[in-house]
Amino acid sequence: MRSFLLPAVLALGCLALSTQTDAQAWLQQMVESSNGTLDVRSFPGEQCLRQCDDTQPRICHFTWTMEHYHVMGPACRNCARGNRTDCYHPACITADGVERGVMSINRRIPGPPISVCRGDLLVIDIVNKMAGTAATIHWHGLHQRATPHMDGVPYITQCPIGFGNTFRYAYHATEAGTQFYHSHSGHHKVNGHYGALVVREPRQDDPNGDLYHYDTPAHVILGSDWMHIDGEMLFPGLPSAGGILPVNLMINGRGTYNGSTATPLEVFYVRRGARFRFRFINAASHVCPLQLQIEDHTMEIIASDSFHLQPRKVDTLVTTSGERYDFIVDANGAKDTYWVRLRALGPCEERQLEQFAVLSYTNVPKTDAAFPEEVPPPYDKPFQNVATVNHPNATCGQPEYEDYCITDFQAYDTDEAVVNGVPDHQFTLGFYNYPVNFRDMFERHSYDHFMNIHAGIMLQGAINNISLAYPPFPLLTQPEEIDESMFCTSDDRPERCADRQLCTCIHRIKIELGALVELYILDLTPAVGDLNHPFHLHGYQMFVMELGQDRRVPITLDIAREIARQRLLERNAVPLPPRKDTVSIPSRGYARVRFRADNAGFWLMHCHYEWHTAVGMALVLQVGETDQMVKPPAGFPKCNSYTPPVDELLKGGL
């Protein structure tokens, strides 16, 4: 087995510590004093779960194995036949009880949770035992300022981890809050590669810290969608499939299907009279927003995408893929158990997909509490719903309604230079799923990516009429391979695209290091139902200045740019705008966001729906010149296409 263990990464990573606190400098000194003999295996990552007040940073080492595995396999023994103890064997994945092949990490779905303190050094050795499959892991929400080569995006920041190889991710937990990790390769996330990553901070640094009593890993909720086949079965698609949609939902990898009671539900224990901080992570892959409710309880929202918010109580929380929300639950219920309800909205509503977990005030063992005798409420019996966050049809900024958008929340602090400064760059990014015809796909031999929705309907995702093609090597870590002619923009397209509206090429937008950037992200999709696209920007936080809708259909990119120009001129001051790294764009609407481009590197920006990313609804932001970017450690893996002249092959003994 070939191993890549980055022996120099500790020294590289600790360069970041010298610019931070004395406690982090202590960690740097400890690493340096080892003289290269430090064995990270002696620092189990599980021991990093602790109170983060007045604590020194730690090294947190994990070893993970990626594997082709199965749901309800032989490790589950008699789980399906009523032996509840067998359902909890560490190697048993129950999911929703339907047998299928999956991709697992350490034979778990979700993968192993990470709970650390801000400033800790995470070292995660990933062993790829998935024969025939390469992969990477992205640490969603961490900006990787000192270690951009650890962002985990294939062919942007690293080569995929090949079968039989070990890759060591090492980076600092610099962004406190609710983050998560997931594969950024193919459709591995929907097949099971995702998990929670919580970075805690001292309670005194949390402006909402006095509002709750408990903040534990037992109150992390991962909502996900689920299929009974590999995601790759629907890429590019099957004409008779009737769409690319999930068949079920899961809460923390657990659930039931079609009324079966053979598999356990997730259980969240609370104590009457106490207030608990819950952390919700939307790990879904498809286009359906997830609606979360807790029977007879309100949710007091205090953070989104790890950034603190001034509190607001709601009954219902709606999120799209990649978003995270933290909320407080006041355990004041009169009953012993309540239902936690997760429902799929948007295109999934016709399928009536929902899943349940149990909120328990009792000390009943989980093997009993996870199999409640009470039947969950039917789909057509709603919970109380007065106030909603991110209702799909919310009109943002209208105080007479209790349907709140993220822009109806306020942060506790701001960056005046970003929020009120004059942008150095203003980009209008119009995204769309373009229909492609039979001739382009099957007679021009373009071999461009596409998805087959159903019958003969084929689509390519695009931003500003460009569908992203990935380079054959990672731009960040092999800059010597870059040829400027390989890139394209909407104003500089390759000659082969001269006769086409849609072009597939390496879409790069170049930005000077330190520039103030304003993006106007616009949904150009025709009126085909309510579909909110979540856009994730790697390496950054975005100040969400404005959300809105323009229901005029159809709308062109030229019209969109004119609308953007007018709105930029007419914009109103936003005193304390919230910050996000994943912004849900209203259906046929727009978002105006800002950020300071102070993190040099090549950063992916993309729709977080897995199939939309796969068919090109993405672009690359290059911030700064390559000589301004953090260099990878010596020996960092390289990859590229291999097409040497035949005469050179002959010289090699062919």
Which residues partner with 266 through β-bridges? none
- In this model, does residue 558 exceed pLDDT 80? no
Three-state secondary structure call for residue 647: helix
Q: What percent of the chain has pLDDT over 70?
A: 90
Distances (CA, A) of 609 to 240, 260, 614, 630: 22, 29, 9, 29
Give 621-638 pLDDT, tens digit per residue. 999 999 999 999 999 999
Specify the pLDDT at position 567. 61
DSSP string, 337-381: EEEEEEEE-GGGGGGT-EEEEEEESS---HHHHTS-SSPPPPTTS
* 627-632 contacts at long range (C-beta below 8 A, 24 or more positions apart): 628/513, 628/600, 629/148, 629/476, 629/479, 629/600, 629/601, 629/602, 630/146, 630/147, 630/148, 630/149, 630/600, 630/601, 632/149, 632/476, 632/477
Q: What is the mean pLDDT of residues 366-393?
A: 92
Q: How many angstroms separate the CA atoms of 568 and 517, rounded?
A: 13
pTM (whole model) above 0.75: yes
Of the candidate ranges 16-30, 205-219, 252-266, the one whose mean pLDDT is the lowest: 16-30
Model confidence at 508, pLDDT cuts 50, 70, 90, reads: very high
Of the candidate ranges 32-36, 435-439, 565-569, the one whose mean pLDDT is the lowest: 565-569
Give 127-162 pLDDT, tens digit per residue. 999 999 999 999 999 999 999 999 999 999 999 999
Joined together, the tokens standing for residue 333 give: 């219920």
Specify the pLDDT at position 6. 39
Of the candidate ranges 6-10, 66-70, 448-452, the one whose mean pLDDT is the lowest: 6-10
Rg (CA), the chain: 24
Q: How many angstroms separate the CA atoms of 130 and 109, rounded?
A: 15
> Could you tell me which residue, 553 or 366, shows the higher pLDDT?
366
**In this structure, how many other beta carbons lie within 10 angstroms of the beta carbon of residue 513?**
15
Specify the pLDDT at position 14. 38
Specify the pLDDT at position 2. 39
Specify the pLDDT at position 399. 58
Residue whose tokens read 């970041």 = 16
Which residues partner with 507 through β-bridges? 488
Specify the pLDDT at position 635. 94
Three-state secondary structure call for residue 70: strand
Give 185-224 pLDDT, tens digit per residue. 999 999 999 999 999 999 999 999 999 999 999 999 999 9
Q: How many angstroms separate the CA atoms of 430 and 524, rounded?
A: 6
Specify the pLDDT at position 551. 56
Model confidence at 51, pLDDT cuts 50, 70, 90, reads: very high
Specify the pLDDT at position 560. 63
- In this model, does residue 54 exceed pLDDT 80? yes
**Cis previous bond, 311, omega within 30:** no
E strands of 143-227, at which residues?
Answer: 166-172, 177-183, 194-200, 220-226
Give 599-626 pLDDT, tens digit per residue. 999 999 999 999 999 999 999 999 999 9
Burial of 516 per CB tally in 10 Å (0-12, 13-18, 19+):
buried
Specify the pLDDT at position 398. 61
The whole-chain average pLDDT of the chain stands at 91
- In this model, does residue 179 exceed pLDDT 90? yes
Q: What is the mean pLDDT of residues 383-409?
A: 80
Q: Answer yes or no: are the C-beta atoms of 557 and 604 closer than 8 Å.
A: no
Joined together, the tokens standing for residue 294 give: 């807790």
Model confidence at 5, pLDDT cuts 50, 70, 90, reads: very low
- In this model, does residue 549 exceed pLDDT 80? no
Joined together, the tokens standing for residue 324 give: 């995270």
Q: Answer yes or no: are the C-beta atoms of 199 and 415 closer than 8 Å.
A: no
Specify the pLDDT at position 155. 98
Non-local (6+) Cβ contacts of 341 within 8 A are 291, 292, 293, 294, 295, 354, 355, 356, 376, 377, 383
3-state secondary structure 99-166: CEEEEEECCECCCCCEEEECCCEEEEEEEECCCCCCECEEEECCCCCCCHHHCCCECCCECCECCCCE
Model confidence at 242, pLDDT cuts 50, 70, 90, reads: confident
3-state secondary structure 469-536: CCCCCCCCCCHHHCCHHHEEECCECCHHHCCCCCEEEEEEEEECCCCEEEEEEEECCCCCCCCCEEEE
Q: What percent of the chain has pLDDT over 90?
A: 78
Three-state secondary structure call for residue 595: strand
Instruction: Report CA 299 to chain centroid distance, whole Å.
Output: 22
